[in-house]
Every structure is written in C-alpha cells, then in structure tokens.
Amino acid sequence: MSALQIASILEAKDFQVDYVECPEWGGKVYLRSMMGEDVSEYVLGDYEDDKETMAQIVAKSLCDEDGNPQDVTDDQSYELGNKNGLALLRCFRKCVELSGLNEQALGEEVKN
C-alpha cells in the first residue's frame, strides 16, 4: 500500500451512515460516525455540561440518508437534550458504535 497524500485523505468519504428507529419521534433518525473534532471532545470530555453531552453528540451526528450533515444550532442541540431519553440514548449508542468508540477502544486510544 502506498503512502497517501493529503489531498487523497481530505477527499475520502471516511464516515459510516446508519439509522435508528425512533417511534417516540415518529420515524428513522439517520446518523453518521463522528468526525475527528467530535471524537476528541468526546474522548477528552471537552463538553460544557455533562448532562448535555449525549444530545450534543447526537446533534453533531445527525444527517440525511446520504450522510450529509444537518445544520443543527446550539439551541436545537440543547432542546434535543429535553426530548425522550430512551430515543436519545439509542441514537447516542449508534453514534458511538459507528465511530468505533467502545470503552476498550477509548482506553487504548487514550493510553497511546
């Protein structure tokens, strides 16, 4: 395998997309894996308020069927934290799964 150039890396479609059924909200919620900045915030705990972390991560991961991110405002992200907790938890778990961020992986990455 040859060494990649920065242009190739930046052009790569390097995220996964999946959906979560949320009958509480009336349908499917499409999510994409977290990007580098979001993973850093999650791993390093750089969120303003722990109780908003789940909603912030889900808000940053919301997308359409093709993986195009939704433009979610800070106010909408905050409001999302006040929606059904079970539906929000399912979406959060899918974000973590798509991003490969289980406890074992997090421990290994933080150590390195």
pLDDT digits (tens, 9 = 90+) for 47-58: 555 556 889 899
Q: Is the pLDDT of residue 44 over 80?
A: no
Within-domain flag for 5 = no
* Domain enclosing residue 107, as ranges: 14-111
Confidence of residue 4 (pLDDT cuts 50, 70, 90): very high
CATH of the domain at 37: 3.30.2220.20
Is the separation of the CB atoms in 58 and 71 below 8 Å? no
Domain contains 8: no
Report yes or no on 7 lying in a domain. Answer: no
Q: How far apart are CA 13 and CA 19, in angstroms?
A: 18
Q: Which comes out higher in pLDDT, residue 3 or 53?
A: 3
Burial (CB count within 10 angstroms: exposed 0-12, middle 13-18, buried 19+), residue 59: buried
In a domain, 52, yes or no: yes
> Phi and psi (nearest 5°) for 18?
-155, 175
d(CA 6, CA 14): 14
How many independent structural domains does the chain possess?
1
